[in-house]
Amino acid sequence: MDALKSVTHDIYHEIEQTIYREARLICEENLREWIDTLIDKDILYQAVNRQLRFRKDNRYTGKDSTYSLNENYYYLEMRVKQSESPMQWTADPREIVRHFINNMEVYEGEKPGEYRVFTNCLVVRNRRIYEEMTYSYSRKDIWRRDANGQLRLLHRLCDIDERFVTGKNLNFML
């Protein structure tokens, strides 16, 4: 990894507030405001599940991971529209996706106005009467400033800890 260059306390604070705001918008099911105000049009939004391999095995040629999410802006917005549809029965009654985000590190990105953000996430998701599911994963984000100076998410890679996803699916904004 390249040398990581730290940011000022003010920038750290600004990004932390943005990440918390993002989590709140998702929890409040306000995905329209989320995508309109926090997502860059060049977004790449990914979640990866990794196959278990022996450490020393370097002869097998098959891919060792598969995506659960691999979306650009067009498809990410499609998911937002799906959630907004009055015909989305799975979210009616509502479900709650609550992020607990910590271990946040912020560094300067490769280009001016870009920031690399590492976090750990625990999500507790409640739906229907009896379903409560938890998910643990890391996020590697790149945020950048738009023309107005507003921070927007440019790239997110979520690395899902569970090989066998016991929370049924990852059908929420990670």
Backbone angles phi, psi at 28, to 5 degrees: -85, 5
Task: Using CB under 8 A, pick the residue from 6, 17, 30, 88 that binds other proteins.
Answer: 88
Q: How far does CA 130 lie from the centroid of its chain? A: 26
Q: Which one of the spans 32-40, 76-84, 97-105, 140-148 is the region binding other proteins (CB under 8 A)?
A: 76-84
Nearer to other proteins, 24 or 50 (CB): 50
Q: Is 136 in the site for other proteins (CB under 8 A)?
A: no
Q: Which residues pair with 70 in a beta bridge?
A: 46
Q: Is 149 in the site for other proteins (CB under 8 A)?
A: no
Rounded Cα–Cα distance for residues 10 and 164 (Å) = 39
Task: Using CB under 8 A, pick the residue from 17, 30, 78, 113 that binds other proteins.
Answer: 78
Q: Which one of the spans 2-10, 16-24, 35-43, 59-67 is the region binding other proteins (CB under 8 A)?
A: 59-67
Q: Give min distance, CB of 78 to other proteins, in A.
A: 5
Q: Give min distance, CB of 15 to other proteins, in A.
A: 25
* 8 Å CB contact between 43 and 153: yes
* 8 Å CB contact between 21 and 13: no
Q: Is 165 in the site for other proteins (CB under 8 A)?
A: yes
Which distant-in-sequence residues (6+ apart) come within 8 Å of 72 by Cβ?
A: 43, 44, 45
Rounded Cα–Cα distance for residues 110 and 103 (Å) = 22
Which distant-in-sequence residues (6+ apart) come within 8 Å of 2 by Cβ?
A: none
Nearer to other proteins, 75 or 100 (CB): 75
Nearer to other proteins, 38 or 170 (CB): 170
Question: What tokens were used for 84?
Answer: 């907004």
Q: Is 67 in the site for other proteins (CB under 8 A)?
A: yes
**Which residues sit at the interface with other proteins, rule CB under 8 A?**
47, 49, 51-54, 57, 59-71, 75, 78-79, 81-82, 85, 87-90, 163-171
